[in-house]
Amino acid sequence: MNDLQSTLFWLRLVQLLMAIPLFALVGQGATHVLARMMGQPPEQNFIYRLFRLIASPVVKPCRWIAPRFIPDRHLPVVAFALLLVAYCWVMLEIAATCARHGLDVAQCLQSR
């Protein structure tokens, strides 16, 4: 059972580390829309810049992955899509780990 606990710990840690920039990108997009609605450039908004700072370690490497015809302003969308796919993969891996040990996902996550 210790193997299950350690595996779940690491998978949930990876999931958490992906959720932080994922939610920062969602917040950045929402702040961008709201700032534009108020007639303010998003780059002057403190919260927008904070979200951009939090998400930048994920957005910057996307320039290496994305083709050249994708403009830099669309890189947060690329990063969001990649993070969302990776987050879902980790969720499925958690479910598969629980199933390999013969437990339901709810039981598996409650048996800390």
Q: Where are the domains of the chain?
A: 2-110
Phi, psi of 67, deg, nearest 5: -65, 160
Read off the pLDDT of each residue in 18-46 and give the average, rounded to a whole number.
Answer: 95
Considering only CA atoms, which of 84, 103, 82 is closest in space to residue 7?
Answer: 103
AA letter at 110: Q
Instruction: Identify the residue whose tokens are 């969302």.
Output: 84
The answer to whether the predicted template modeling score (pTM) of the entire model surpasses 0.75 is yes
Considering only CA atoms, which of 60, 95, 54, 62 is closest in space to residue 81?
Answer: 62
pLDDT above 90 (res 53): yes
Instruction: Identify the residue whose tokens are 């048996």.
Output: 111
Residues 68-102 have pLDDT tens digits of: 999 999 999 999 999 999 999 999 999 999 999 88
pLDDT tier for residue 2 given thresholds of 50, 70 and 90:
low
